[in-house]
Amino acid sequence: MSDTSNDMTWHGTTILAVRDENKVVIAGDGQVSMGQTVMKPNAKKVRQLGDGNVIGGFAGATADAFTLFERLERKLDEHHGQLLRSAVELAKDWRTDKYLRNLEAMMIVADKDITLILTGNGDVLEPADGVAAIGSGGNFALAAARALKDYEQDAEKIARRAMAIAAEVCVYTNDQLTVETLNSGG
For position 56, which CATH number holds?
Answer: 3.60.20.10
Read off the pLDDT of each residue in 61-70 and give the average, rounded to a whole number. Answer: 80
H helices present in 17-116, as ranges: 62-78, 83-96
Residues 6+ apart with CB under 8 A from 157: none
Report pLDDT for 92.
86
Query: Is 182 contained in some domain?
Result: no
Spatial separation of the C-alpha atoms in residues 94 and 104, rounded to whole Å: 10
**Spatial distance between the Cα atoms of 157 and 5, rounded to a whole number of angstroms:** 37
What Rg do the C-alpha atoms of the chain give, in angstroms? 16
- In this predicted structure, the answer to whether residue 4 has a pLDDT above a threshold of 60 is no
Whether the CB-CB separation of 138 and 146 falls below 8 Å is answered with no
The answer, yes or no, to whether residue 6 has pLDDT greater than 50, is: no
- List, in order, residues 6 or more apart from 177 with CB less than 8 Å away: 27, 28, 29, 30, 160, 163
Q: Is residue 12 part of a domain?
A: no
Answer yes or no: is 101 within a domain. yes
In the sheet that holds 131-135, the strands lie side by side as 131-135, 14-19, 23-28, 178-183
Please tell me the distance from the alpha carbon of residue 185 to that of residue 57, in angstroms, as a whole number: 20
Asked if 40 contacts 72 with a C-beta cutoff of 8 angstroms, the reply is no
Largest CA distance in the chain: 49
3-state helix, strand, coil in the chain (%, to 5): 30, 30, 40
- The residues annotated with a catalytic role in the active site are 13
Q: Across-strand partners of 17?
A: 26, 132
Mean of per-residue pLDDT scores for the chain: 87
**Does residue 93 fall inside a structural domain?**
yes
- Asked whether residue 40 is domain-assigned, the answer is yes
Residue 5: the pLDDT is 40
- The rounded distance, in Å, linking the Cα atoms of 87 and 7 is 33
Tens-place pLDDT, residues 18-27: 999 999 999 9
**What range does the domain containing 125 cover?**
17-170
Is residue 96 in a domain? yes
Indicate whether 183 belongs to any domain.
no
Q: For residue 178, is it within any domain?
A: no
Domain count, the chain: 1
pLDDT over 60 (residue 118): yes
Tell me if 14 sits within 8 A of 163, measured CB to CB: yes
